[in-house]
Structure 1
Amino acid sequence: MIERLAIPLCAALLLSACDDISMTQQKRYGTFTRAALFGNGTEAQPLPEGVVAQGDLERQSRTLQRPQINAELLGRGRERYDIYCSPCHGLSGNGDGVVVQRGFPAPPLYHTSRLRAAPAQHFFHVITNGHGVMFSYAARVDPSDRWAIVAYIRALQESQGANVADTPELRTRLP
């Protein structure tokens, strides 16, 4: 008789120990709420010194590595430029993209003397951190693609000031 009651009794004891409410609705701190647990009285604690987000060191090292410029890189840069940059900057870098045609403020032209003289790092920095009304593309564009876009912007700048007489290959193809 005791054996027959042992299993249901154990099951009843185990199930009575479970409290569904406390398991599904645990105490937690809301964002920026007061927390007596911490010395400064807030739940938002600064990160410990030396903490690095997972993958940040590798990603940061890729931001410092300028790739070798070749046709493949320029092709990738054009593809990424057309996707991310041309809506505002236009396909030729004249600041006449579709978004600008609909009333958004025009970005600076890539063909001004100031931006022609700017170092490549300037364009990489602007893509990464944004500037003026342009938001950051750091989360949207991989560092290697940012460098590809910078190379393509340089190619756009060169193309606007190119002279057909300076390029023998073009002279033979043009009538």
Structure 2
Amino acid sequence: MRRAAPLLILLAVAACDDQSMRLQKRYETETPSLLWPDGSSARPLPAGTVAHGDLERERALAQAPAVTPELLARGRERFGIFCSPCHGLSGYGDGMIVSRGFPAPPSYHSARLRAATAQHFVDVITNGYGVMYSYAARVSPEDRWAIAAYIRALQLSQGARVADVPNLSERLP
């Protein structure tokens, strides 16, 4: 039995055909195919296919959350990370990339963007606009709303007038 065991192991190892796994028939990416009528090896997704997480993302983008101090703090943090390199810390479109020769983005304090809805900012973050590419893969839907809320706070802070704040003289030391 001791002499038969090494022989059986040798036969079992010799029977392994590593080549058949590497040399199997398959289509490379974007290779034409004679198998399908359209001639393409890449098959379209079946109708009604929904990627994992798409429904939750759509629900999160559909309704704006309530504006809270926590939401604004999160928006300020995310704005500083993702938006300020182009838009600047105050939202005037004077970020670091502009000083490096890239085109300046529009100021959030222009009349057009002051009149824009929060949904507009969320859509731009999601889909991109002009030379700005989409941040959908980088910024979660919840953070997009937080950034939009913070942009509104920036707009209010930069356009505030003393007359808009009641009893200001009582609050100043």
Match of 1:94 in 2: 92
| Residues 55 and 106 of structure 1, relative CA distance in 2, 3 Å threshold | same
TM-superposed CA distance for 1:23, in Å, is 2.4
CA–CA separation in structure 2 for the residues paired with 1:170 and 1:83: 33
- Compute the TM-score of the two structures, normalised by the length of structure 1: 0.89
Unaligned runs of 5+ in 1: none
Q: Deviations over 1:1-35 (max 9, x none)?
A: xx566545543443332112222454432221112
> Is the deviation greater in 97-106 or in 9-18?
9-18
Structure 1 residues 1-175: aligned runs within 5 Å? 7-8=5-6, 10-168=8-166, 170-174=168-172
Task: Decide whether the 8 Å contact of 1:165 with 1:171 is kept in 2.
Answer: no
The separation in 2 between residues aligned to 1:93 and 1:167, in whole angstroms, is 22
Distance 1:37 1:17 in 2: 33
Q: Secondary structure at the match of 2:132?
A: coil
Give per-residue Cα distances to partners, 1:115-150, cap 9 Å, x unaligned.
111111111100001011101000000000000000
Deviates more, 1:100-109 or 1:159-168: 159-168
User: Structure 2: how far apart are the matches of 1:98 and 1:170?
Assistant: 35
Q: CA deviation at 1:86?
A: 0.5
Q: Larger deviation: 36-45 or 88-97? A: 36-45
Contact 1:35 1:42 in 2 (8 A): yes
Identity of aligned residues (%): 65
Separation in 1, partners of 2:38, 2:165? 67
Q: What is the DSSP-based 3-state SS (H/G/I as helix, E as strand, rest coil) of the residue aligned with 2:119?
A: helix
TM-score relative to the length of structure 2: 0.90
Aligned residue type for 1:149: I
Instruction: Name the SS for the 1:72 alignment partner.
Output: helix
Q: How far apart are 1:152 and its partner, in Å?
A: 0.5
**Over aligned residue pairs, what C-alpha RMSD do you find?**
1.9
Q: Deviations over 1:26-81 (max 9, x none)?
A: 44322211122333221111100011111111121111131100111111101100
Structure 2 residues not aligned, in runs of 5+: none
